């Protein structure tokens, strides 16, 4: 258990006092050593933040609960179980909708939280109180579910060979021929173009096209408005397409007009290709 270091800063001391009072008021019956609790609170603020202010913003009741859990308080464990039951099933079921699986995730997670993870210490120690305990538990449940599924998951069964066998859109054999004819070049140009993007842009594209996040959700993540993300997506899509066109032009030695008609024929597949190329 981390040792209490006396807070010399009076503002910090006051913040800790207030936090402690607030938490104890919420859970008067929980058994947690004050020194451990305060040490725990001090781990909460992000590096470089004003500690006194940041401590006040922590979810101090939840930190007290975590602290009491780590100290082995029976009531705290009961409260933790309540919260686990509230968040684990929906989180785990998103990974695999099976009761047995959900049950397994819950068991393992509880074990790890209270007894110990791979490094031997109880995982609950990693909760810092910056968000609510429930949302942290949900994240931990998702991680546990992913670990359980590791190796079984096969999200990307498609390869470029399949891209070349796309079903025809209509009854025009010539157009279909063009699509099939240049699909491999298109795919490799697209792969190259995507590889040229910075990691962040590639990730955001993947989150949008493959994971299906909305522009609102990505906007929240990026701390910006959804319309900014929308514009960014359109712009990136356009520049990827321009890059693909440039690469295809160099590779196939086609004129700009021919490239346009080729890109036109392949454009309808761009979304699909992006989806697959990003996988």
Partner 1 sequence: MSACASETELLDFVAGSLGCAESDALHAHLACCPACERMVAELARETPADTASAAPGAEARPLRRGDQLGRYLVLDELGAGGMGVVYAAFDPQLDRKVALKLLKPDASGHAQEGQRERLLGEAQALARLSHANVVTVYEAQALGERVWLAMELVEGTTLARWLAEKRPRAQVLDIFVKAGEGLFAAHEAGLVHRDFKPENVLIGDDGRVRVTDFGLARKEQGPAQAGEARLLGTPAYMAPEQWAGLPADARSDQFSFCVSLWEALSGARPFHADKLELLAGEIEREHISAKGHAELIPSRLRRVLLRGLHKDGAARYPSMRELLAELQRDPLAPFRKPLAAAAALVLVALGIVLGAKHRDPLICSGAEQKLAGIWDAQRKEVVRASLKLPVAGEAWRGLERALDGYAQSWARMHLEACLATRVRKEQSEQLLDLRVACLERRARDLGSLTALFVRRGQEVAPEAAKAAYALPPLRECAETDALAAQVKQPSDPAERRRIAAVEAELSEVRALVSAGNDAAAAPRAEATVALAREVPYAPIRAEALYQLGLLAMRNGDAQKAEHALLEAAWEAEAGRHDRLAAHARIDLVYVVGELEGRAADAAGNWLREAGAALQRFGADADLESSLETVHAGVLTAQDKCEQALPHLRLALALADRAYEADDPRRGMLLNNIGNTLRCVGDLDGALDRHRAALALRERVFGPDHPEVASSLNAIGNMYFFKSDFAAALDYHQRALRARERSLGEGAMMVATAVLNVGVDLISLGRNAEGRAHARRALDIYESALGKNSPRLVSPLSILGHVEVDLGAPQEARRYLERALQLLGDRDDDKAAMARFNLARALRGEHGDEQRARDLAISAREYYTRRPQARKTELETIDEWLKGPRAM
Instruction: Work out whether 240 is an interface residue with partner 1 (CB under 8 A).
Output: no
**For partner 1, the closer CB: 8 or 37:** 37
Instruction: Work out whether 39 is an interface residue with partner 1 (CB under 8 A).
Output: no
Q: Exactly one of 32, 69, 80, 87 binds partner 1 (CB under 8 A); which one?
A: 87
Instruction: Work out whether 9 is an interface residue with partner 1 (CB under 8 A).
Output: no
Instruction: Work out whether 1 is an interface residue with partner 1 (CB under 8 A).
Output: no
Interface with partner 1 in residues 95-124 (CB under 8 A):
none
* Burial category of 202 from C-beta neighbours within 10 Å (exposed 0-12, middle 13-18, buried 19 and up): middle
Instruction: Work out whether 14 is an interface residue with partner 1 (CB under 8 A).
Output: no
Instruction: Work out whether 94 is an interface residue with partner 1 (CB under 8 A).
Output: yes
CB 266 within 8 A of CB 179: yes
∠ CA 170-174-177, rounded to 5°: 95
Q: Find the radius of gyration of the CA atoms of the chain.
A: 26
Instruction: Work out whether 239 is an interface residue with partner 1 (CB under 8 A).
Output: no
Instruction: Work out whether 11 is an interface residue with partner 1 (CB under 8 A).
Output: no
List the structure tokens of 1. Answer: 């258990």
Size of the site for partner 1 (CB under 8 A): 85
Interacting residues of 89 by C-beta distance below 8 A, sequence separation 6+: 102, 106
Q: Exactly one of 178, 188, 239, 243 binds partner 1 (CB under 8 A); which one?
A: 178
Q: What DSSP character marks residue 128?
A: -
């Amino acid at each position: 258990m981390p040792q209490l270091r006396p807070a010399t800063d009076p503002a910090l001391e006051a913040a800790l006092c207030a936090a402690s009072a607030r938490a104890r008021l919420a859970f008067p019956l929980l058994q947690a050593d004050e020194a451990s609790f305060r040490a725990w609170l001090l781990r909460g603020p992000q590096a470089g933040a004003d500690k006194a202010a940041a401590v006040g913003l922590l979810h101090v009741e939840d930190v007290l609960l975590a602290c009491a859990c780590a100290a082995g308080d029976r009531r705290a464990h009961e409260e933790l179980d309540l919260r686990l039951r509230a968040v684990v099933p929906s989180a785990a079921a998103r990974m695999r909708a099976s009761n047995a699986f959900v049950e397994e995730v819950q068991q393992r997670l509880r074990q790890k939280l209270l007894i110990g993870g791979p490094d031997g210490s109880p995982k609950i120690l990693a909760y810092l109180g910056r968000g609510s305990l429930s949302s942290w538990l949900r994240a931990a449940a998702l991680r546990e579910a992913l670990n359980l599924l590791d190796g079984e998951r096969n999200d990307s069964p498609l390869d470029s060979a399949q891209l070349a066998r796309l079903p025809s859109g209509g009854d025009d054999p010539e157009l279909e021929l063009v699509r099939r004819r240049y699909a491999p070049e298109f795919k490799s140009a697209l792969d190259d173009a995507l590889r040229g993007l910075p990691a962040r842009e590639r990730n955001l594209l993947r989150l949008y096209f493959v994971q299906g996040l909305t522009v609102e959700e990505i906007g929240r993540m990026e701390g910006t408005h959804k319309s900014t993300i929308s514009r960014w997506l359109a712009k990136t899509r356009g520049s990827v397409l321009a890059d693909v066109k440039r690469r295809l032009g160099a590779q196939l030695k086609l004129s700009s007009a021919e490239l346009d008609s080729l890109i036109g024929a392949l454009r309808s597949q761009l979304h699909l290709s992006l989806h697959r190329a990003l996988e």
